[in-house]
Structure formats: C-alpha cells, structure tokens
Structure 1
Amino acid sequence: MSEPVSVSVCMATYNGQAYVEAQLTSILDELTPHDEVIIVDDASSDGTVAAVQALSDPRVRVIRQAANRGYVHTFEAAMLAATNDVLFLADQDDEWVPGRRAALVEAAQEAGVAASNLLLLGTDEPLRSPLTGRPWLLRAATSRHRVRNELRILAGSAPYFGCAMAIRRDLLPLVTPFPDFLTESHDLWIATVANAHGVLRHVEQPTVRRRIHSTNASSEKPRGVRAALRSRWMLMRAWREAQRRVQTA
C-alpha cells in the first residue's frame, strides 16, 4: 500500500497579526497529522509571531528572518524549508475553503502544478476581471492551452494567485531558485514555469476565500503606465527563463 500524500503549507508573514490566527485555524482544520505549516516571518514588528505560537500546534514551524526581505524571497524561503510531497502556498490573511486539500493534492499529483479559482471573503463572489469586469475564472479545459495561457499572463488577464496554488515536490528544482529579477508576482512565475513545462492544471473548484483590505501585498488599484510596463518586461523575461529551465531540465 502506498504511503499517504503529505502536504507542506508555505506561508510568508509580515505584520499580519490581525488575520493570521483565523487563517491558520482554517488551514489546520484541513490538514492531517502528517502535514506541516512552514511560516517564514519577514521581520514583523507586531504580534504576528506571538499569535502563531499561541496556537501551540506541533504541525506549525516558524522561521524568523532578522531583516525584511520582501514577500517574494520570503515565500521562496518557506518553499525551500518544506519537506513534504505537495507544497501549498498560503497568504497570511485569507481563509481556506473546506475540501481544498483534497482538490489541490489530486490535481498537483496528476499534473505537477495546480491553480484553482477563489472567492471573495464576505460575499463568496468571484473576483472580477480588471479588463472586462466579468467573473475572473480559470477553466479546466484550458489547462494545457500553453500559448493562450502565457499570452493572458503577459496581458495581465490570467487569474493565477499563489494563495490558490499547489506544487508537487519534484518540480521544486524547476521553480526555485526564483530569478534574481523577480521582485513581485511569484505566483505568475510559478504559473509561467508550469505552463512552459506543460504541467499546469486548472481547478475550477474555489479553494480559498480571499480577504481584501488596505494592507494587502497586491493592490487592487490600477498601476501607472511605467509600473505596468516594468511588470510586463519582467514577465517576458520570466517566460524566457522558464523556457531555458525546461530545456535544461
């Protein structure tokens, strides 16, 4: 009989005291005794670490960074510290939907990288596309539309969010180390690598309720032109780097 699949939840925290306890409660309710939660705290100045430690759950491990490195490097550190079969990414301020573990483990085990839909906490409505205003959803049927998916990423119209992703452990060497030029959008980098390698699976089931508030790391407000152009150039470089890694894997 095969061993059960174990999960590592990888979380980056920074001054997240207000919501981290509710998020961790929703996560721990989904996990098995063999799973783990790796939290890398990015030099918080509030009571985030104390709130986490107050839960006193042996599945939770906290790694404290002495200096603030930003969320991209902090997520990478959490992923590299993980030890289990499937890595889940989790933000500090959302809440998991029951059934998330089973849905993403199945998809990640079969494909390699799973990306699901999400809902807005408080309304259970889907996000709206910043381009069309319509519900912003992933469709299972487009999982392997590699060119189309990448064009959507470059255009800023692909709803890939790290908080709704899972990665099979054997693909970690393709995803990490993150490129030096990656200063944001670690989730789009992971989706780009998975798309280039043909191992991406869209999960239509929502697996997380996203909390929108004034201190979200990713803003809902439109960017200025220069910032948008810098972001597109970074994503183009990410696609080229992903192709290189696939070719040399």
Structure 2
Amino acid sequence: MNEVRVSVCMATYNGAAFVGEQIRSILTELEPQDELVIVDDASRDDTVDVIRRIADPRITLHPRAVNHGYVRTFEEAMRLAGGDIVMLADQDDVWIPGRRALFVRALQEGAVAASNLVLLGSDAPLRSPIRRVPWRLSARRSRQRLRNELRILAGVAPYFGCAMAVRRDVVDRVLPFPSFLTESHDLWLATFGNAQGLLVHIEQPTIRRRLHADNTSPSRPRGLAAVLRARWMLLRAWREALRR
C-alpha cells in the first residue's frame, strides 16, 4: 500500500480560520511519497500566509491572482496532481485517521470512490436537507447505476467532493470538467462513476465536516428556479459522462 503515491487536491479561498487544522490532519495521514496540491483562488485574507508557514515538502502551493470559482480551482489542482490516486479535500474539514488506506483499498475495485462523513464536534451523520434523515452511502448499492443517478437528480445522494477520490487512469477522462459545470464538481465525479460503472461507496466515515456560514455546499433546500437549473445541468452531465 505504501508504494502507492497519493495526491491530495485542495482548493482554498479565504480559509485562514480553519485551513491550518485541516492541512495538519491531512499531513498526518500521508506517506513520504505523497503530495498535497493546493490552489488558492485569489484569497483576500491571509490563507496563503497560513499555508506557507506550514513547512512540509509534500505541500505545493499555487496562488492565483484572479478568482475563478471553486469548480475551476479544483480542476486546476487535479491537473497539477501527479499521484496514482487523486483525493479531494476542502479547506475547512478534518480528516479521520485511516482515510488514506480506505480509499487506496476501495480504488483497487473501482476508479471513483466516495465515503460517508460525520459532523465535526459530534460525529453525528450529516442529515438530508430535504427529509432531515441521516445521509449515508451504502456499499452494496455502489454499482446500482440508475438508482444512484436518480438519487443525484432528486437531490438526495450524499456525494461530497471532500469525501471523494479518483484513480489516475480516469483523471484524463473526468477532466476537463464540462464547460457548463458551474457548481457541483462532486456530482460530476459521481455521475461519471455511475455512467461508467466505476463507482465504489465506502461506508466508513472518513471526514469530519465543519458546518459554518461560508460552506460552499448548501445545508438547506434552494429555491425552485435554482433547483431546476441544477437538475438540467446534471442531466447534461449524465449525457456527457456516457460519452467519455
């Protein structure tokens, strides 16, 4: 397992308050041959300085002068990654010990993997914004492609980029992200995995997710117009994923 090189891709933006704790939790998990690729999306606070103060040769930092949004920032980080496995990480969560090993093992069976997550501070499961019930992925449903995709379209599939990884041999197929993708890079990765029959669910939580006012992923249902736009984008993503 230690021969595998893992690249962790992080997009940062005004994350100075929490990014240091997240980076330390990641570095504790990584092996000497691994890397943490960080693309900063023109932060206006001292996020870049916080990262630079963490002296670890496994970190490579790429600050941007112009803000392009989190979707394109993650795309750039994935392009820069050189590892056999590409894991995604948000700037404000905390990794649970054992995360690296779980994903390395899962990606021996599939090419896209997604795990469950819990809330930082309580270890309670994240709850669905619609039904308010615990949101969990089931390993036995990993390859139920139509069911999984319908759940994505219905907004009840808990795929989060911070709890996802892809194998190197499919990175060039998931990239570039579709030009129409303005949000939900995580749902694009899950859609690709479903469309190609390559998705694996990890039932164990691997992330402690920090909820705060600036989370990119919404914690409450959105308005009807926004939902319809998002669903149309995801339908286009399914069609695009089938072609790749």
- TM-score band, normalised by the shorter chain? over 0.9
- Give the drift of 1:130: 2.2
CA distance in 2 between counterparts of 1:177 and 1:201 reads: 22
What amino acid maps onto 1:229 in structure 2? Answer: L
1:201 paired with 2:200, answer: yes
SS in 2 for 1:29: helix
- Secondary structure of the residue that 1:109 maps to in structure 2? coil
Give the drift of 1:151: 0.3
| Alpha-carbon distance in structure 2 between the residues aligned to 1:207 and 1:123 | 14
Question: Displacement of 1:65 after TM fit?
Answer: 1.2
What is the match of residue 125 of structure 2? 126
Instruction: Give the corresponding residue for 1:22.
Output: 21
Query: What does residue 235 of structure 1 align with?
Result: 234
1:190 alignment partner in structure 2: 189
Q: Secondary structure at the match of 2:61?
A: strand
Residue identity in the other structure for 1:12:
A
In the TM superposition, 1:93-172 aligns within 5 A as 93-172=92-171
Q: Name the stretch that deviates more: 127-136 or 200-209.
A: 127-136
Shift of residue 3, structure 1, vs aligned partner: 7.5
Cα shift readout 1:99-145 (whole Å, capped 9, x = no counterpart):
00000111023211110000000110001122322110000000000
SS at match of 1:202: strand
What amino acid does structure 1 have at the position aligned with 2:120?
Answer: L
Moved more, 12-21 or 126-135: 126-135
Partner of 2:217: 218
By how many angstroms is 1:218 displaced? 1.6
Q: Which amino acid in 2 is paired with 1:128?
A: R
Which deviations, in whole Å up to 9, do the C-alpha atoms of 1:30-79 show, x marking residues without a partner? Answer: 00110000000000011101101101110000001110000000000000
- Any idea what SS the aligned residue of 1:229 has? helix
Q: Which residue of 2 aligns with 1:89?
A: 88
Structural mapping, 1:56-95, within 5 Å:
56-95=55-94
- Once residues 243 and 191 of structure 1 are traced to their aligned partners in structure 2, the CA distance between those partners, rounded to angstroms, is 12
Q: Secondary structure at the match of 1:119?
A: strand
C-alpha distance in 1 between matches for 2:157 and 2:36: 28
Q: Please provide the CA RMSD for this pair.
A: 1.0
Contact (CA 8 Å) 1:30, 1:98: kept in 2 or not? yes
1:34 corresponds in structure 2 to 33
Task: Give the distance between the partners of 1:5 and 1:176, measured in 2 at CA.
Answer: 22
- The alpha-carbon deviation at position 222 of structure 1 amounts to 1.8
Partner secondary structure for residue 108 of structure 2:
helix
Amino acid at match of 2:147: R
Aligned partner of residue 181 in structure 1, secondary structure:
coil
Q: Which runs of 5+ in 1 are unaligned?
A: none
Asked if the contact 2:2–2:31 (Cα under 8 Å) also holds between the matched residues in 1, the reply is no
Equivalent residue, structure 2, for 1:5:
4
CA shift, 1:244, in A, is 1.4
Give the alignment of 1:48-63 within 5 angstroms.
Answer: 48-63=47-62
Q: Normalising by structure 2, what TM-score?
A: 0.98
**Unmatched runs of 5 consecutive residues or more in structure 2:** none
- What is the letter of the counterpart of residue 221 of structure 2? P
The residue type equivalent to 2:14 in the other structure is: N
